[in-house]
Amino acid sequence: MESYRMYNSKLAGEYKDAFEKIDVYIGATNIDSASREELMNSLTDTFLSAQEEGKPVEKITGRNIEHFCHEVCSGYGFKEHFIAFFEFFRPMTYIFFILTFVPFFEELEKNSILNYFSYQTSADTILGFITGMIWAYLLDFAANKIIKKVFINKRKVTVYSAALVHVCVLMISLLLLGVVIVLSDCLTPGDDESIWYIPLWTAQVISLGLVIICNAVTHKIKKQNIDSTVDVIDSYYNESFYRSLENIESKRFDKLNTKLAKKGQSLLSEQEFYEKEIKKLKREINPLYYIIIVLIAPFFCIVFGFDGIVDFLIFYGVCIVIEGVVMLAIYLPARKAMLKRLAWLENKLNSSESV
């Protein structure tokens, strides 16, 4: 689905102010991101239509924006809240899954013989994860309550002020957590040993189960979010880059030939230029090109030593995950644009050949 954020910049004056407030309020509401995107698209369309007709914004929203947002969201029920819940926890389940491998690598590092099925691990990881999940959910809930109750009544509200609320709540909670840890250390000194142990495979099955459940529930949304991002960037290409492709390619052709002339080499014909660009582009479209970058790049980042293989694997794993996500976000929209450029170049090549 195309993101409404591409079009809400067309709103002006009272429409812009009202829309920003609604955007912040709906963003702080516990409904899944796909439903939220759909709702905001509908509202953007309505606002743009009403603005075009010169209606006052109050004709659409009434006098109370908070009441309007509350009414709009009243159509959503258990299903949307349920999906939003899993959507919230999905990134955390990946972290949990990775963490369950840490004790496994620690044992390997000690060179001890490990019987995977009988190996017991501290249940602290699971308990910590569950506590962390509840803690994060409560924080998000508190921040959203503040945004909806306090900020919505301010004259001007932006998404940045809403983000600031989340950061402040997080800081306060970390401070509180620090106080709790210091107090518990003072009350029970030297009591660091875990009292609960469970088989490692159980912890991994639980974490993997959580990853699968969260992904299954949010599968449709994940796809829609990627499509939405692709659409936004694709549209950028369509509107600003792709429209002037002829101009850009002609400049590129001139630049390349100027370079060749300076070197004293023979100049490229248009046909040769298109062939060269097509060959280069086909190589860049191949996903393997990006996968190799993702796998190799972290090695170039190693500028300090590691205490052991566990530290190295954690560092390398985190690097690959971060880089993988960034590269995927670049690759998906870029591939669409590259395919369009390829089609254009092939079309040009065919027409130059026929001439």
Partner 1 sequence: MDDSQLLKGVLEGCVLGVIVKGETYGYEILSVLENAGFENLLEGTLYPVLTRLEKKGLISCRKAKSPFGPVRKYYSITESGQEYFDNFKASYERITTASGKILNGDITEGDKRNDGKL
- Positions touching partner 1 (CB under 8 A) are 1-2, 4, 6-7, 10, 38-39, 41-46, 48-50, 52, 59-62, 67-76
Q: CB of 7: closest distance to partner 1 in angstroms?
A: 4
- Which residues lie closer than 8 Å to 279 by C-beta, 6 or more apart? none
Nearest-angstrom CA–CA distance, 82 and 243: 42
Task: Rank residues 94 and 242 by Cβ distance to partner 1 and give the closer one.
Answer: 242
Q: CB of 346: closest distance to partner 1 in angstroms?
A: 27
Q: CB of 46: closest distance to partner 1 in angstroms?
A: 5
Q: CB of 18: closest distance to partner 1 in angstroms?
A: 11
Supply the angle between the helices 33-53 and 78-99 in degrees, to the nearest 10: 130
How many angstroms from the chain centroid is the CA of residue 24?
Answer: 18
- Give the H/E segment covering residue 277: helix 270-285
Task: Rank residues 67 and 110 by Cβ distance to partner 1 and give the closer one.
Answer: 67
Task: Rank residues 44 and 100 by Cβ distance to partner 1 and give the closer one.
Answer: 44
Task: Rank residues 42 and 184 by Cβ distance to partner 1 and give the closer one.
Answer: 42
**Are the C-beta atoms of residues 67 and 149 closer than 8 Å to each other?**
no
Question: CB 313: neighbour CB atoms within 10 A?
Answer: 16
**Are the C-beta atoms of residues 247 and 240 closer than 8 Å to each other?**
no
Task: Rank residues 41 and 218 by Cβ distance to partner 1 and give the closer one.
Answer: 41
Q: CB of 331: closest distance to partner 1 in angstroms?
A: 24
Task: Rank residues 11 and 200 by Cβ distance to partner 1 and give the closer one.
Answer: 11
Q: CB of 219: closest distance to partner 1 in angstroms?
A: 19
Check residue 306 and report its DSSP letter.
-
Give pairs for 310-318: CB < 8 Å, separation 24+.
310/102, 310/105, 310/106, 310/108, 310/109, 313/105, 314/102, 314/105, 317/98
